[in-house]
Amino acid sequence: MLITLLIYLTLFFFSLGQLGRISFLGQQVNLYVYELFLFTSLASLVVKHKLKPITSTINKFKITYLFFILLGLSFLINIFHFQALENAVSVLYLVRLTVYVACFIYLLYEAKHNKKILLTIQKGLFIFISITIVSSILQYFFYPNLRNLIYLGWDPHLYRLFGVFFDTSTAGGVFGLILLFVFLFHKPLFKSKLINYSILVTYFIFILLTFSRGLYLSMAVTLLLLFLKDKKLKKALILIALFFVVGFVVIPKPFGEGVRLVRFVSIESRIKDYKNAISIWQKKPVFGVGYNRIRYVKKDFNILQEDNINVTHSGASFASSYLVILVSAGVIGLLLFLGVFWEWSSLGKYFVIFLGLFSLTDNIILQPFILFLLLQILIVNSLSLSGKSQ
């Protein structure tokens, strides 16, 4: 079956992370190999189901649909304030975001009516989880220094786990989602309990090795909420908390500012970034400047220099997904964005809570790898728990 093959290919190439990246226009536009199969999957599902998945979920995801309408409106309102190339780049990223969510809606519809598709996504996620373990271990021991890629705009992470994602926050978001998925899934991923426990321990160690404070805090709060919600999990969560504390004490902390939890440089940088975001938002408070135009607005505000505008990966965002949306789509867009969180939480509350918290300190949920993985997990989580395959 074509869609089955496409799902496997998508998740396999997704496992390559930044290694599967193709850049255009001096890195203003980036395409990942897995997205080619994702786009093809969506096209095949649209041909098969037409608009039925959309029309049948209007009530369930009405805020999500309104959010995308608002993004389109925000783009059109500001279209004459930007150059043709800048508008083209903005459209491409808006199309990408739309494709991701549309593919999620179509796959959710397909999986509801075809149990084999649900199992395919589930198996594909297991493959991704396994490959990520191997690639992350290889990176940590054989490529611990990302400083040689500074010229390509990557942060100079040293002795931290960033995997194939070349960023500790993105890698941390992936690790956190996987850990919660393995922990909360209604049945063991593998028949052997030892393998399942080993996966949980491995991803906890991975989280520790990112040395991401935002990740630590987000995961801690999410687990605390789980602790308060489900009494059956209390013993397990107490053990996890102890493991987390002991683990951080014993993990290697080689030379470098990045492995110090009490580091103020990144805090000062974030505060400055937040102030810049608020200053830009105040110019367009209601509908914002349009999606993925932040890079060009920063240039107008002299936040980015012309010779650095295309290189730095943080140039097109801010250190919080909420600020990205606030600047891009204004206060109306931010309110709808929060509504999208609420709608999606019905499919997997703790995954959304975790990313919602983590997105306060970094642009996490809008990162393609994170968004894609979240949506696949929500499909499996919601349908597996409901047991429906209508």
Of residues 246 and 314, more confidence is placed in 246
pLDDT value at 204 more than 50: yes
Residue 389 is predicted with a pLDDT of: 38
> Phi then psi for 212, rounded to 5 degrees?
-95, 115
The residue with tokens 């990313």 is 355
pLDDT value at 246 more than 80: no
Residue 73 is predicted with a pLDDT of: 96
Q: How many CA atoms lie within 13 A of 203 on its CB side?
A: 24
The residue with tokens 């491409």 is 92
The closest of 363, 371, 355, 365 to 101, measured between CA atoms, is 371
pLDDT value at 213 more than 90: no
| Helix locations, the chain, DSSP H | 2-14, 33-49, 52-55, 62-77, 84-113, 115-142, 168-184, 193-210, 213-229, 234-250, 265-281, 294-300, 321-345, 349-358, 368-386
Residue 285 is predicted with a pLDDT of: 94
pLDDT value at 327 more than 50: yes
Q: Please, are residues 86 and 296 in contact by the beta-carbon 8 Å criterion?
A: yes
Q: How far apart, in whole angstroms, are the C-alpha atoms of residue 116 and residue 275? A: 49
pLDDT value at 350 more than 60: yes
Dihedral angle of Cα 41, 45, 46, 49, to the nearest 10 degrees: 180
Residue 78 is predicted with a pLDDT of: 92
Residue 29 is predicted with a pLDDT of: 83
* 256-271: pLDDT as tens digits: 555 555 565 667 788 8
Average pLDDT over residues 293-297: 90
Query: Residue 216 corresponds to which tokens in the numbers above?
Result: 């630590």
- The amino acid occupying position 149 is L
Residue 317 is predicted with a pLDDT of: 83
**Are β-strands 29-32 and 21-24 bridged in parallel, bridged antiparallel, or unpaired?**
antiparallel
Q: Please, are residues 174 and 165 in contact by the beta-carbon 8 Å criterion?
A: yes
* 1-31: pLDDT as tens digits: 789 999 999 999 999 999 999 988 777 788 9
Q: How far is CA 150 from CA 68, 154, 379, in A?
A: 34, 5, 37
Residue 22 DSSP symbol: E
Least confident of 64-73, 163-172, 252-261, 338-347: 252-261
* 29-82: pLDDT as tens digits: 889 999 999 999 999 999 999 999 999 999 999 999 999 999 999 999 999 989
**Average model confidence (pLDDT) for the chain?**
87
Average pLDDT over residues 125-130: 94
Residue 103 is predicted with a pLDDT of: 97
pLDDT value at 93 more than 90: yes
The closest of 233, 232, 237, 235 to 219, measured between CA atoms, is 237
Residue 23 is predicted with a pLDDT of: 84
> How would residue 390 be classed by pLDDT, with cut points 50, 70 and 90?
very low
Average pLDDT over residues 134-145: 94
Q: How far apart, in whole angstroms, are the C-alpha atoms of residue 114 and residue 121? A: 11
Verdict on whether the full-model pTM lies above 0.85: yes
